[in-house]
């Protein structure tokens, strides 16, 4: 700003503040003139406002192709008029290069078209021969590829079957999980039945009783062997479960950003859990040198001394005892019990929420005693109070019944059935229904006993199309893929048949009426079984309402079509 005086009257001036706007660009030179008398230059003034921009038309006004176009000139000339000169009086034209043309046989239009037809037939004959050769060659190639594919499929199925048997044999030889021991007890029961039948068929009297006693003795020895394997497997599984729990506590926090990348963040709690995990792995490792073992024990001692309590005092005493025994040259085999006590007490120390805050949300037993009274039920078989997750409740059950451990013990002692095949079918079914992403609910209400009843009593443990009875190769899929899976909207097929079935659009046209009628009868049997279940009755009534509305809609559509025809 600067001040200036303006003449407002004949003899009065007024001070006015003038604001100067500095331009952000150089103003163009618009011309001017020079006063010849004084020599002062005067420039044409320009407005201080910015120029109005022209609207963008969306097309390029100036381009390099237009300014550098390649021009080409081409001359065109009309035809010249020509003439033929003949010999005449006073003009000689040589006939040495002339040709004598004599008229040939006259061909009628009928003969011409007949000859053309014969030529066309010859061409068609050779073309069809060439086409037939190509078709046969293509068929041979397709047949060769088909036979090769079939041979490869047979080989692949054979390898898959051998691999499955090898895995089963490996699982039975080195059992680790509950399913492995189920297979062992199931095979033991089959072997017992075969041996008992053979003894009853071939022996009588005292020989039969002696053979049965020997068979019973062999069964007891095998069960004792299974028990030893179960103890070893439980120790390994317990160690893996502990490491999995501690590793889960040490995992950093993860979240997905807007661009799809995963971001990880370590907090004080995760770093503390990771430190405790490394110490636990170090003290549980066997076969390390004495110096390293002493360093690990000293690190553990410094860690547990951060919290003074009875548990930490006991851990410190055991650590001092082991260090003293190591310094005296004690053998490692004599220190195994002491080291196990240290690992067990340190694990208890890790599970304290004040020491390891991340473990609070992963413990099965809640820290708040009031939460123990929720969802806790009494097992009348083992007479223990257990959470609801420890009970296997079928869909048609009206009471709590026995817990999973009692069911497992009863199965090992009496029936010795293997539920692995049914469990695989149920897992594959739930996974396929989750892939549809249409909020399927019924499949997650069906339990393992319900699925076993459906497969054994309704579908007879075989495929509805090929009657294939190997349960490892069978899957359950939707009968009508437009509706969610339910016991009255399902079919049991092999994996290849299921893939082909799900590609069908119209089931009534793809299958025969007798086959569709048989499937509907199986669905009615499933409805009658699951209608007794309160949780399933609401879904059953809803499906019946949808089916009746669909039939009403179809009948109204047909009636309107009939009216239009009339």
Per residue in 299-325, pLDDT (tens digit) is 999 988 888 888 889 999 999 999 888
User: Do 437 and 541 sit in the same domain of this protein?
Assistant: yes
Distance CA 421, CA 452 (A): 10
User: Do 441 and 491 sit in the same domain of this protein?
Assistant: yes
Residue 61: inside a domain, yes or no? no
In what helix (H) or strand (E) does residue 204 lie, and over which residues does it extend? none
Residue 539: inside a domain, yes or no? yes
417, 440, 474 — which closes off a domain? 417
User: What's the whole-number mean pLDDT along residues 460-478?
Assistant: 89
User: Do 323 and 390 sit in the same domain of this protein?
Assistant: no
Q: How many CA atoms lie within 13 A of 211 on its CB side?
A: 15
User: What's the whole-number mean pLDDT along residues 338-363?
Assistant: 87
Residue 78: inside a domain, yes or no? no
- The whole model's pTM is what? 0.61
Q: Tell me: the pLDDT tens digits for 99-155? A: 888 888 888 999 999 999 999 999 999 999 999 999 999 999 999 999 999 999 899
Residue 363: inside a domain, yes or no? yes
Q: How many domains does the chain have?
A: 4
Distance CA 250, CA 358 (A): 8
Distance CA 497, CA 476 (A): 11
User: DSSP for 503-532?
Assistant: T-S-HHHHS-HHHHHHHHHHHHHHHHHHTT
Q: Is 33 helix (H, G, I), strand (E, B) or coil?
A: strand
User: Do 438 and 486 sit in the same domain of this protein?
Assistant: yes
User: Do 350 and 321 sit in the same domain of this protein?
Assistant: yes
User: Do 483 and 544 sit in the same domain of this protein?
Assistant: yes
Residue 438: inside a domain, yes or no? yes
User: Do 219 and 344 sit in the same domain of this protein?
Assistant: no
Which domain, by its residues, includes 455? 418-554
User: Do 285 and 330 sit in the same domain of this protein?
Assistant: yes
End-to-end CA distance of the chain: 93
371, 396, 430 — which closes off a domain? 371
560 against 86, higher pLDDT: 86
User: Do 221 and 299 sit in the same domain of this protein?
Assistant: no
Residue 395: inside a domain, yes or no? yes
Residue 267: inside a domain, yes or no? no
User: Do 237 and 334 sit in the same domain of this protein?
Assistant: no
pLDDT at 2: 59
Q: Tell me: the pLDDT tens digits for 509-542? A: 889 999 999 999 999 998 888 877 766 766 666 6
User: Do 220 and 204 sit in the same domain of this protein?
Assistant: yes
371, 402, 426 — which closes off a domain? 371
User: DSSP for 407-463?
Assistant: HHHHIIIII----HHHHHHHHHHHHHHHHH-S---HHHH--HHHHHHIIIIISTTS-
Residue 357: inside a domain, yes or no? yes
User: Do 298 and 321 sit in the same domain of this protein?
Assistant: yes
């Amino acid at each position: 700003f600067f001040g200036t005086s303006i003449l407002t009257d004949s003899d009065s001036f007024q001070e006015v503040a003038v604001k100067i706007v500095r331009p952000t660009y150089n103003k163009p030179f618009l011309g001017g003139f020079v006063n010849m008398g004084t020599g002062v230059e005067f420039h044409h003034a320009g407005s201080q406002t910015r120029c109005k921009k022209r609207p963008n038309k969306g097309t390029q006004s100036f381009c390099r192709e237009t300014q550098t176009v390649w021009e080409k000139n081409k001359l065109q000339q009309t035809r010249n008029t020509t003439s033929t000169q003949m010999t005449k009086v006073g003009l000689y034209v040589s006939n040495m290069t002339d040709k004598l043309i004599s008229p040939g046989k006259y061909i009628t239009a009928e003969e011409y078209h007949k000859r053309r037809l014969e030529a066309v037939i010859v061409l068609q004959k050779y073309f069809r021969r060439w086409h037939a050769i190509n078709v046969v060659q293509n068929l041979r190639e397709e047949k060769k590829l088909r036979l090769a594919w079939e041979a490869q499929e047979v080989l692949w199925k054979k390898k898959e079957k051998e691999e499955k048997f090898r895995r089963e044999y490996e699982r039975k030889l080195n059992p680790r999980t509950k399913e492995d021991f189920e297979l062992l007890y199931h095979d033991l029961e089959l072997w017992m039945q075969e041996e008992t039948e053979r003894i009853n068929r071939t022996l009588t009297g005292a020989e039969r009783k002696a053979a049965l006693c020997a068979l019973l003795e062999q069964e007891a020895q095998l069960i004792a062997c299974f028990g030893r394997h179960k103890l070893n497997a439980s120790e390994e599984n317990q160690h893996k479960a502990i490491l999995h729990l501690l590793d889960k506590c040490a995992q950093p926090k993860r979240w997905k950003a807007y661009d799809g990348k995963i971001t990880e963040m370590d907090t004080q709690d995760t770093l503390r859990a990771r430190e405790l995990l490394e110490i636990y792995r170090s003290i549980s490792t066997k076969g390390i040198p004495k110096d390293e073992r002493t360093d690990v024990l000293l690190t553990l001692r410094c860690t547990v001394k951060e919290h003074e309590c009875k548990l930490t005092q006991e851990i410190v005493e055991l650590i001092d005892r082991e260090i003293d025994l190591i310094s005296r040259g004690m053998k490692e085999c004599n220190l195994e019990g002491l080291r196990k006590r240290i690992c067990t007490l340190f694990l208890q120390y890790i599970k304290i929420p004040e020491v390891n805050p991340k473990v609070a949300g992963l413990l099965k037993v809640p820290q708040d005693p009031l939460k123990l009274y929720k969802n806790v039920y009494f097992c009348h078989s083992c007479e223990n109070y257990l959470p609801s997750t420890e009970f296997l409740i079928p869909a048609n059950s009206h009471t709590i019944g026995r817990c999973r451990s009692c069911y497992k013990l009863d199965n090992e002692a009496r029936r010795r059935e293997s539920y692995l095949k049914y469990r695989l079918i149920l897992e594959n079914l739930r996974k396929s229904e989750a892939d549809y992403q249409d909020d399927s609910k019924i499949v997650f209400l069906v339990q393992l006993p319900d699925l076993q009843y459906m497969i054994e009593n309704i579908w007879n443990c075989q495929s509805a199309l090929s009657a294939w009875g190997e349960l490892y190769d069978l899957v359950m899929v939707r009968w009508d893929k437009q509706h969610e899976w339910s016991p009255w909207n399902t079919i049991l097929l092999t994996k290849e048949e299921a893939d082909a079935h799900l590609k069908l659009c119209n089931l009534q046209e793809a299958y025969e009426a007798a086959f569709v009628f048989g499937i509907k009868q199986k669905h009615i049997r499933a409805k009658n079984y699951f209608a007794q279940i309160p949780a399933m009755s609401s879904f059953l009534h809803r499906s019946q309402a949808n089916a009746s509305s669909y039939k009403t809609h179809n009948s109204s559509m047909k009636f309107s079509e009939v009216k239009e025809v009339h």
